[in-house]
Amino acid sequence: MRIGIGYDLHRLRKGRKLILGGVEIPYPKGLFGHSDADVLLHAIADALLGAANLGDIGKHFPDTDPKYKNISSKIILEKVYRLVRKKGYKIENVDSVIIAEEPRLAPYIPQMKRNTSWVLKIKPDEISIKAKTNEKLGYLGQKQAISAYAVVLLQ
CB within 8 A of 27, min separation 6: which ones? 18, 102, 103
Q: Looking at domain 2-154, which CATH architecture does it have?
A: 2-Layer Sandwich (3.30)
- Provide the pLDDT confidence category of residue 117 given band limits of 50, 70 and 90: very high
Alpha carbon distances (Å) from 1 to 18, 20, 57, 106, 119: 34, 28, 21, 31, 21
Domain extent listing, the chain = 2-154
Inter-residue contact 152 to 2 (CB < 8 Å): no
Q: Distance (Å, rounded) from C-alpha 69 to C-alpha 101? A: 27
pLDDT tens, position by position, 41-82: 999 999 999 999 999 999 999 888 888 888 899 999 999 999
Q: Distance (Å, rounded) from C-alpha 152 to C-alpha 20? A: 18
Inter-residue contact 146 to 98 (CB < 8 Å): yes
Over the chain, what is the mean pLDDT?
Answer: 96
When pLDDT is averaged across residues 99-110 and rounded to a whole number, the result is: 97
Q: What is the 3-state secondary structure (H, E, C) of 121-147?
A: CCCHHHEEEEEECCCCCHHHHCCCEEE
